[in-house]
Amino acid sequence: MTYKVTEEANVSTVFLNGEIDMDVTEKAKEVILPLVEAGKEVHLNLKDVSYMDSSGISVLIESHQKALEKNTKVVVKEVSKSVLKVIMMAKLEQILNLE
Amino acid sequence: MNLSESKDFLVSSASLKEVRTFSRDVFEKINLPQEQKDELVLAIAEAAQNIVKHGYKGVDSTTDRMEIKIALNDGKLEIGFFDKGKAVVPENIQHRQLDDIKPGGLGTYFIKQIMDGAVFKKDEKGWVNHLVLTKKI
């Protein structure tokens, strides 16, 4: 997994790339959670994420819940078809902010 | 068509990518919709992850290996997982309730959604756990 972060006003956009599994979840959290902790609105762009398992879904849930605590939000954007299917299997499409 | 292929992997989260590659390579030989292949790869990866995460919980690193065997016989897919981690008590395995939104606890749920059956067997000498996932395809 690789990533790129861009900043614009109070919005940080994290572009994730590759496959998100248990092996890279700590790295993903280290990128995303400090931005949420800082009160930023975080956009997770998943257009280049080709695979995500339950560990990746956990990162999305943890980020979303941390954002609620900090009165901000995490928006999940440009989800690929294969990742959307996993999100829907977990019945999270109405919970996460998907765009 | 019938086939049977197996491969062993170091028990490590770093092996999960290799597990997926092996699974994808096997399913390339089977005429299935890509969507179903993706689901099967996810189920296999989740089961392998459970070995790393739960079977070796508290173990920083190990030289142990796990084996995955994918067999197709007359339209019945059987996927075996062999490991030497902590003995699984099948009755203790349960996924979290989906409306209890929190990180974790989804891997087993995904496996149950994707596969027709998941059974632990006690018939493999030399291994501690032998999980068999089945699906009619």
Tell me the CA distances in angstroms from B43 to A67, B33, B118, B122, one per residue in order: 30, 16, 11, 21
- Residue B29 CA to residue B114 CA, distance in Å, equals 20
Q: Assess A30–B contact: CB distance below 8 Å, yes or no.
A: no
Domain range list for chain A = 2-98
Chain-wide mean pLDDT for chain B? 93
Residue in this structure with the two tokens 């959290």, named with its chain if needed: A29
Of B42, B101, B113, the CB nearest to A53: B42
Chain B neighbors of A58, CB-CB under 8 A: 103-104, 106
Helix, strand, or coil here: B53?
helix
Q: What is the ipTM of this complex?
A: 0.93
The domain total for chain B is 1
Query: What residues pair up with A20 in beta bridges, in sequence order?
Result: A52
Question: Cα(A61)–Cα(B102) distance, rounded to whole angstroms?
Answer: 6
For B18-70, the pLDDT digits (tens) are: 999 999 999 999 999 999 999 999 999 999 999 999 999 988 899 999 999 99
Domain A2-98 is in which class? alpha beta
CATH of residue B97's domain is 3.30.565.10
Residues 6+ apart with CB under 8 A from B9: B15, B18, B19, B22, B48, B65, B66, B67, B68
Let me know: does B131 contact B47? Beta carbons within 8 Å.
Answer: yes
Give residue B125's pLDDT: 79
What is the rounded CA–CA span in Å between residue B44 and residue B133?
A: 9
Q: What is the pLDDT of residues A25-83, one digit of tens each?
A: 999 999 999 999 999 999 999 999 999 999 999 999 999 999 999 999 999 999 999 99
Nearest neighbour of B45 by CB, restricted to A53, A57, A95:
A53
Residue B76 is part of which domain span? Answer: 3-136
In tens, the pLDDT along A2-35 reads 999 999 989 999 999 999 999 999 999 999 999 9
Q: Is the pLDDT of residue B104 over 80?
A: no
